Structure 1
Amino acid sequence: MKNVARAPKGVWAKITRFLFDIQPEFVHSLHLCEAARKRGYIQNLPTENRSPLPPLPPKTIFEAFPDYKMWWPSWDQRTHLSCLQTCMASAKVTERIQRALSSSGNPPPQSVQKYVRHECSKWNLVWVGKNKVAPLEPHEMEYLLGFPRDHTRGVGKTQRYKSLGNSFHVDKVAYHLSVSRVMFPNGVTVLSLFTGIVGGEVALHKLGIHMRVVVSVEICKANREILRSWWDQTQTCTLIEIADVKFLKDDEIASYVSRFGGFYLVIRGSPCNNLAGSNQHHRDGLEGKHSSSFFDYFRILNSVKSAMATMQPNRCSTYAIH
């Protein structure tokens, strides 16, 4: 399971209690890339012999985007981007910054510098010209998150930002899943809950782990389109799509377990809106509109484990990452 590390008080304790008292592992993406994205993971995969995906991603803004260095003022001392969000700064924000800088000297007064630095950090704005800042483009966010270029292309720009902001960081998840290469040399059957834009599946693919079957549950139509596009380009095996976890009942889970010989990897994405510190309006924890899906995950995971124990009493290990 992946969730925001700085979730509201009590959330992680509750998640841990429901998920068999497995303690979360908190990972900061600055160890793997140039965007600050602290996340917590609960998973029962082995932790020994994990390894990052080569090549290692860039660690600073200028390593990722060297062209921006040309216009970057010395008083903006950012070396890393802030947490990638689900929405971008409006044109009004960037226009106000440009006006403030154009009417100031060089360098601008401290008050203007402070204002501009705050807005740039808040919205992850980058310098694209003289006194000119702009939001990251979707393909730049794809790159930062470890997706192939144009992975989300084909859906609206606003939706691309939203889907990317809620996504797994591919390199980070691949680090956790890297032990699966030894555990599943003949491939793996995957139950993917709240699939999003297939960050977990892209990680498995980049690790060279064959996905024999993926049963994907994702409510967002645009995300399902992204999934199908990526799957058609990279995979040849069985994909089953379900539009909502509410449709995945215990008898259907048992049927899939019997049909495919079990699910040996369960991956759950997580819409972070009700947990993220940047959301000051509806930070409702696990009871929030989006994050309450955790309880469906708990129900489904228990159902999978029960069905597999019935089918193979002596070989019923299911590995999950949440």
Structure 2
Amino acid sequence: MAKKYEKDANNPFPGDDNCNNEALFGIMDKTLRLLEMGFTENQISAVFERCGSEALLTDLAESIITGGAEPDAHKYSSPLSKQSVQLNCRSLKRKTTGDFLMNQQPLSSVLIKTEEYSSDVVPEPDLLERLKGKRPKEEHTDDEPNNWLKPKEEFMEDTSNSEGRMWLEARRGISSSTNNRVAASRRRVLGILEDRNPTMSMPNPCKSLTSVVAKPPYFFYGNVTSLSQDSWARISQFLYSSQPEFANTQLYSALSRKEGYIHNLPIEDRFHIHPKGPMTIEEAIPHSRKWWPSWDDRKQLSYISCETSGVPLLCDKLGRILADCNGLPSAEQRRQILQQCREKNLIWVGKYKLGRLEPEHLERIMGYPFQHSQVAGFGVPDRLGSLKHSFQTDTLGYHLSVMRRLVPGGVVILSFFSGIGGVEIALHRLGIVLKGVVSVETCEVKRKILKKWWESSGQSGELIQIEDINKLSSRRLEDLMKKFKGFDLVVCQNPYSAADSDNLSGLDFSMFAEFVRVVQRVRSTMDGDR
């Protein structure tokens, strides 16, 4: 349907690709909502032709109910019955178990379920009441955002039996989804959603999930790049609208950096990796302690630099400045030296002498084994770059520690964009047995790094490496699920790209969509097997 209306001369999309994508997502989402309400595909197709793709969801539903009249032309004459809504609720419940299956066809033709993410919803009249021909007796202003939660006598239903409860849940679910979409549209129009970094928060991601979503197989998406709040909201739509969780690695290590996760794991009974890693630069690089001047107040890394060219010359220049002043630089000289130290990750290696942070130093700070990233064909800049885009394993391990309780006998994981094995190493450090790992990673050198660690760490499970996510066909995925009897955890580690092709800085959205495609297939298949 999205393709059809993309070509429809009566409903032209803007020429800008990003706007075009947004319009396509809007049509897909409205179509899903109308299907969930119980309308047929023919009805939905006809109403788009009558009202256009930009019409509000409530107007589209009203036009279908009134039998083709223009929205708001007159009152509804064909209200939905309670029995039909109950049936729709059962159908919706089946859909939420992951009924959108992956096929062996191009991504553009694969249907991906999305849900609206919104943290500050502006209420609208109850959609179900409109379909029943009613209007709320009271109109509420934006100054009273919580009034819509108060029950009204005419809305109260008998919930003493399962049918009554299902009726009430269906009404609330439809109203909530409509409210979310209208509120998000208003915020976009008013420009309230700005591109800004997310604030530190520790929400419970599972509180916003239904019992159908918050169960195995578990999914875990993480990103260490600077994504805006709007970008996180868009990503959340494709992962059951679970709330992002953000952590600062300075609470777990000698690195100060924000990492963001979207997952359906419980947050109770988490625990830290033991023994803990170094919490300061001094602990991570003890030999620098005797040369570290008192006026250099750095305790943790705040930035990871991959630049190595010109660093020796810079260190020589700064060393001469310090030697000329006998190690007592002026306030301005201190400021300039500290600025270079932070930007280039310089550490003290001798009297009045600075040097670059080596990959081995960063591996210790990040919680990886000594010389973990050292393989043939991987230079120092490449090693630093791979570590920069990897997770700090102490931080990651804290959030994954619940897996030891959930799957005490060991885990089987499907890992996308595994990199140098951050998730695998974090689980190993937690004492969780890796019974099997299917790793998807495009970089050959990074695959070698993970395989080298797998063999050197004495893993007893099986490691299967796949070089391209597009080669993970539905047939091969089914064979892997049969081989391992399903997956306990499906993870996606930071699918980033240097070029921003989809207005999501640091994220390759096409690769993220492939991850969503497989997550939905794995969950629906395993749910069917159960």
Which TM-score applies when normalising by structure 2?
0.54
Give yes or no for the alignment of 1:100 onto 2:321: yes
Change (3 A) 1:85 1:271: farther
Q: Which amino acid in the other structure matches residue 448 of structure 2?
A: E
Aligned to 1:148: 369
**Distance (whole Å) between structure 2 residues aligned to residue 6 and residue 166 of structure 1:** 11
174-183 or 102-111: bigger deviation = 102-111
Aligned to 2:480: 256
State the 1:185 CA deviation: 1.5
Change (3 A) 1:58 1:44: same
Partner SS, residue 42 of structure 1: strand
State the 1:241 CA deviation: 0.8
**Distance (whole Å) between structure 2 residues aligned to residue 287 and residue 145 of structure 1:** 23
The match for 1:109 among 317, 323, 330 is 330
Change (3 A) 1:223 1:33: same
Change (3 A) 1:35 1:289: closer
**Distance (whole Å) between structure 2 residues aligned to residue 273 and residue 115 of structure 1:** 32
Q: Which amino acid in the other structure matches residue 84 of structure 1?
A: I
Give ranges in structure 1 of 5+ residues lacking alignment.
275-280, 313-322
Residues 58-84 of structure 1: per-residue CA shift (max 9 Å, x gap)? 222222222212111222111111133
Q: Which amino acid in the other structure matches residue 487 of structure 2?
A: F
Give yes or no for the alignment of 1:214 onto 2:437: yes
Aligned residues: 306
93-102 or 190-199: bigger deviation = 93-102
State the 1:271 CA deviation: 4.6
Aligned to 1:57: 277
Change (3 A) 1:176 1:4: same
Aligned to 2:343: 122
Give yes or no for the alignment of 1:38 onto 2:258: yes
Change (3 A) 1:287 1:169: closer
Q: Which amino acid in the other structure matches residue 269 of structure 1?
A: Q
Aligned to 2:88: none
Structure number having the greater strand percentage: 1
Aligned to 1:295: 513
**Distance (whole Å) between structure 1 residues aligned to residue 515 and residue 404 of structure 2:** 25
The match for 1:18 among 238, 243, 249 is 238
State the 1:85 CA deviation: 3.9
Change (3 A) 1:86 1:305: farther
**Distance (whole Å) between structure 1 residues aligned to residue 332 and residue 279 of structure 2:** 30
Give yes or no for the alignment of 1:175 onto 2:398: yes
138-147 or 285-294: bigger deviation = 285-294
The match for 2:493 among 241, 246, 269 is 269
State the 1:194 CA deviation: 0.3
Give ranges in structure 2 of 5+ residues lacking alignment.
1-220
Aligned to 1:316: none
Aligned to 1:189: 412
Is the Cα contact below 8 Å between 1:190 and 1:267 reproduced in 2? yes
State the 1:53 CA deviation: 0.9
Is the Cα contact below 8 Å between 2:222 and 2:494 reproduced in 1? yes
86-95 or 237-246: bigger deviation = 86-95
Among all aligned residue pairs of Structure 1 and Structure 2, give the percentage whose two residues are the same amino acid: 38
Change (3 A) 1:289 1:64: closer
**Distance (whole Å) between structure 1 residues aligned to residue 495 and residue 288 of structure 2:** 31
Give yes or no for the alignment of 1:74 onto 2:294: yes
**Distance (whole Å) between structure 1 residues aligned to residue 222 and residue 298 of structure 2:** 27
State the 1:110 CA deviation: 2.0
Is the Cα contact below 8 Å between 2:322 and 2:328 reproduced in 1? no
Q: Which amino acid in the other structure matches residue 394 of structure 2?
A: D
Structure number having the greater helix percentage: 2
**Distance (whole Å) between structure 1 residues aligned to residue 304 and residue 336 of structure 2:** 20
Is the Cα contact below 8 Å between 1:101 and 1:112 reproduced in 2? no
**Distance (whole Å) between structure 2 residues aligned to residue 231 and residue 223 of structure 1:** 12
Which protein has the larger Cα radius of gyration, Structure 1 or Structure 2?
Answer: 2
**Distance (whole Å) between structure 1 residues aligned to residue 306 and residue 291 of structure 2:** 26
227-236 or 101-110: bigger deviation = 101-110
State the 1:213 CA deviation: 1.3
Is the Cα contact below 8 Å between 1:173 and 1:200 reproduced in 2? yes
Is the Cα contact below 8 Å between 2:502 and 2:508 reproduced in 1? no
State the 1:119 CA deviation: 0.9
State the 1:288 CA deviation: 5.7
When the two chains are superposed, the root-mean-square deviation of aligned CA atoms in Å is 2.2
Partner SS, residue 439 of structure 2: strand
Residues 83-138 of structure 1: per-residue CA shift (max 9 Å, x gap)? 33444463233233224334445411222211111111112211111222112111
State the 1:282 CA deviation: 5.7
**Distance (whole Å) between structure 2 residues aligned to residue 178 and residue 9 of structure 1:** 26
Change (3 A) 1:105 1:292: farther
Q: Which structure exhibits the higher relative contact order, with contacts defined as CA atoms closer than 8 Å and separated by 6 or more residues?
A: 1
Give yes or no for the alignment of 1:242 onto 2:460: no
Is the Cα contact below 8 Å between 1:257 and 1:307 reproduced in 2? no
**Distance (whole Å) between structure 1 residues aligned to residue 305 and residue 442 of structure 2:** 20
Aligned to 1:308: 526
Is the Cα contact below 8 Å between 1:168 and 1:199 reproduced in 2? yes
The match for 2:303 among 83, 87, 106 is 83
